[in-house]
A and B are shown apart, each in its own frame.
Chain A
């Protein structure tokens, strides 16, 4: 249990690191998706510091697990973690969004070691994941493919084409994660285009459905540990109930912070709240 507590503390610290770095990098660009990163920060930390099988010295290792950030607009939160685990020099992050930088608002697989697929156009990632999962079968490899989607992204019809094909081809090596933060650009998903009943839709498409608190690392650890074998015959979707903007009080659940820029004094407030959060965690 001691080990698990230490792991949880590490993961919580890495989630906090992801949020702080996001604030730092968006200050360079003066525009970015804070809310979408903050809702997924625990998921990012868990994936890159515990779940995914990869080797930062060999980003093209054929047997690595794949991670597709289908909600590509959260890339600003992923870049610092990729640097931190050793894919590239963290100093490169200082070029974020500046002319000729490898790092844009949406990730480019040709420019950034550790990015498994370029993304940004919503609705494509799960299809790409289906292709990678089928490729694992063709090449006899045992990797898993994880695809992180936004809940607004579920409006895209192609998601459901992909969902149907994943069940049809019995892709037990495919794991979709829906960041159910309830916020899209124009407002709350319930008001703009209500995706509910989300779990029932995935189940009806033939998926194994798990609902989980996307900030509860303790439970998330168990859910990922209990994933079926990649050779099994049903894809899994984790519907991660999250809070956009968490844990910054003035950003939480506010669609206005899907995309924005924190003025310097607000950055200080946000960072202070992040300190409190980490300090208050067990």
Chain B
């Protein structure tokens, strides 16, 4: 596991709770999608990028500087952005439309359903700062319902990332992938858990981060990092062998990986999302329909709006940090 990432600025220290956006985005080296897309767009002239007055916060300036004629800032009008992206896709382009998850996964849900999914257009939704990553900005800026909503749209692929390497692998895989994709992205300060883009990445194929036979943690998105930390703790302190799976694609779900996890006898799902309708629900559906016999718990936000607080304090409060996930698994055992 690496502790550094290309582009990180030597000697600059960012407090994890800082929300001085101009400073923090400059110091957030893991907001890499602008850079990756700029690279991909050089060989794929059909790639275009849209955002809604957030090109600094999401660092799509990295794309705009390289391909100014294929970058479109639609202003604070997200619904128009999504429908326009659908029009572009219908005209043969491959659009990536980006803004905060709360404003695209929730505000634009109907545009995504009707203009993107129903016509099965290859629009890529980049929903960043998902979950409760916006911290004390409050519930208007959180998205703890988007997995549930997007998962219910026919034709939609729903992907969540833990770090910039996985994001890069998914973006590269998305160029030739059919239909629409929802990318659930973080806030760009996550410590990577991969040390390079997984070479055999495929949407719908889970990645085993750690083998184990006493229990399995299935995580999507940022909490995967904390899940790995929890597994190490449980091994060191409790002598448990804990499998950790990156279930990055919530839809289509890797049923085989889920059922294999159930064979450990204990399954904990972890997500930065309401436990209603998200990853835990998707896994529960598979387990129940297969008649799998295992202990099972959904770990996440328990059907409430998050408290006000700095992001890391919120993760600790909701048990979405290493100690919290270890606690949840011990309770389950």
User: Which residues from chain A sit less than 8 Å from chain B, CB to CB?
Assistant: 62, 66, 108-110, 116-118, 120-121, 124, 127-136, 138-139, 158, 161-162, 164-165, 168-169
> Does B178 have its Cβ within 8 Å of any Cβ on chain A?
no
B77–A161 CB distance below 8 A: yes
Q: State which of B87, B114, B118 has its C-beta within 8 Å of the C-beta of A131.
A: B87
What's the Cα separation between A232 and B281 when bound, in Å? 52
CB of B262, distance to nearest CB on chain A (Å): 37
Q: How far is the CB of B248 from chain A (nearest CB, A)?
A: 28
Question: Does A134 lie within 8 Å of B114, measured CB to CB?
Answer: no
Chain A residues near B77 (CB-CB < 8 A): 158, 161, 164-165
- By beta carbon, the residue of chain A nearest B83 is A127
Q: Which of B88, B91, B95, B114 is the one whose CB lies under 8 Å from A121?
A: B114
The reply to whether A128 and B86 contact each other, CB–CB distance below 8 Å, is yes
- Contact assessment for A127 and B91 in the assembled complex, using a CB-CB cutoff below 8 Å: no
Is the Cβ of B119 less than 8 Å from the Cβ of A131? no
5 smallest CB-CB distances across A and B, nearest first, come from A131-B87, A127-B83, A135-B91, A131-B84, A161-B80
Asked if B120 CB lies within 8 Å of chain A CBs, one says yes
Pick the residue among A116, A124, A161 that contacts B90 (CB under 8 A): A116
Please choose the segment from B67-75, B206-214, B287-295 that sits at the chain A interface, where 4 or more of its residues have CB less than 8 A away: B67-75
**Interface residues of B, CB < 8 Å — how many?**
29
Q: Does the CB pair A129–B87 fall under 8 Å? A: yes
Cα of A120 to Cα of B115 in the assembled complex, Å = 10
Residues of B contacting A168 in the complex (Cβ-Cβ under 8 angstroms): 75
Given that A110-B119, A128-B90, A132-B91 are known contacts, is A158 also in contact with B79, CB under 8 Å in the complex? yes
Q: Which residue of B lies closest to A169 (CB)?
A: B72
Task: List residues 59-111 of chain B with CB under 8 A from any CB of chain A.
Answer: 69-70, 72, 74-75, 77, 79-80, 82-93, 95, 110-111
A-side contacts of B69, CB under 8 Å: 138
CA distance A138 to B84 in the complex (A): 13
Q: A118-B114, A121-B110, A127-B80 are in contact. Are A164 and B87 (CB under 8 A)?
A: no
CB distance from B198 to the nearest CB of A (A): 32
Give CA–CA (A169, B50) in the complex, Å.
Answer: 13
A120 to B119, CA, bound (A): 12
What is the bound-complex CA distance between A138 and B118, given in angstroms?
A: 25
Q: Which of B48, B72, B83 has the most CB of A within 10 A?
A: B83
- Return chain B residues, CB-CB under 8 Å to A62: 91-92
Closest to B93 in A: A135
Tell me, rounded to whole Å, the shortest Cβ–Cβ distance linking B205 to chain A: 27
Given contacts A110-B119, A118-B118, A138-B48, contact A127 B79 (CB under 8 A): yes
15 more A-B residue pairs beyond the given contacts A127-B115, A158-B80, A161-B80, with a C-beta to C-beta distance below 8 A: A109-B119, A117-B119, A118-B118, A124-B115, A127-B83, A127-B84, A130-B83, A131-B90, A131-B95, A135-B92, A135-B93, A158-B77, A162-B80, A162-B84, A164-B77
Q: Is the CB of A139 within 8 A of B114?
A: no
Interfacial chain B residues near A110, Cβ < 8 Å? 119-120
**Assembled-state Cα–Cα distance A131/B86 (Å):** 7
A-B contact pairs, 25 of them (CB 8 A): A62-B91, A66-B91, A109-B90, A109-B119, A116-B90, A117-B119, A118-B114, A118-B119, A124-B83, A127-B83, A127-B87, A128-B86, A128-B87, A128-B90, A131-B85, A131-B91, A131-B95, A134-B88, A135-B91, A139-B92, A158-B79, A158-B83, A161-B77, A164-B77, A169-B72
- B residues in contact with A116, CB < 8 Å: 90
**B80–A165 CB distance below 8 A:** yes
Using Cβ atoms and an 8 Å threshold, which residues of chain B touch A138?
48, 69-70, 88, 93
List B contacts of A128 (CB < 8 A): 83-84, 86-87, 90, 115
A120, A132, A158, A169: the one contacting B87 at CB < 8 Å is A132
Smallest CB-CB separation from A117: which chain B residue?
Answer: B90
In the docked arrangement, what's the CA distance between A169 and B73, Å?
10
Q: List chain A residues, Cβ under 8 A from B80.
A: 127, 130, 158, 161-162, 165
Q: Determine the distance from Cα of A103 to Cα of B120 in the docked complex, in whole angstroms.
A: 18
What is the chain B residue whose CB lies nearest that of A125? Answer: B83
Contact A131 B83 (CB under 8 A): yes
**Distance of A73 Cα from B52 Cα, bound (Å):** 30
User: Nearest A residue to B87 by beta-carbon distance?
Assistant: A131
Cα distance A121–B108 in the bound complex, in angstroms: 13
Judge whether A134 and B84 touch: CB under 8 Å.
yes
The distance in angstroms between the C-alpha atoms of A121 and B85, with both chains bound, is 16
By a CB distance below 8 angstroms, the chain B residues around A165 are: 74-75, 77, 80, 84
A161 and B79 form a contact (CB under 8 A): yes
Residues of A with C-beta under 8 A to B79: 127, 158, 161
Nearest residue, chain A, Cβ from B123: A131
**A108 contacts which chain B residues (CB < 8 A)?**
118-119
Given contacts A109-B119, A124-B111, A139-B93, contact A132 B88 (CB under 8 A): yes
When each residue 27-56 of chain B gets 1 if its CB lies under 8 Å from chain A and 0 otherwise, what string results? 000000000000000000000100000000
Q: Please name all residues of chain A whose beta carbon is closer than 8 Å to the beta carbon of B114 when the two chains form the complex.
A: 118, 120-121, 124
Question: Could you tell me the distance between the alpha carbons of A130 and B77 in the complex, rounded to whole angstroms?
Answer: 13
Distance, CA A240 to CA B111, complexed state (A): 27
> Chain B contacts of A136 at CB under 8 A?
91
- Interchain CA distance A162-B120 in the complex, whole Å: 22
CB contacts (< 8 Å) of A162 on chain B: these are 80, 83-84
Q: Please, which residues of chain A bring their CB within 8 A of the CB of B72?
A: 134, 169
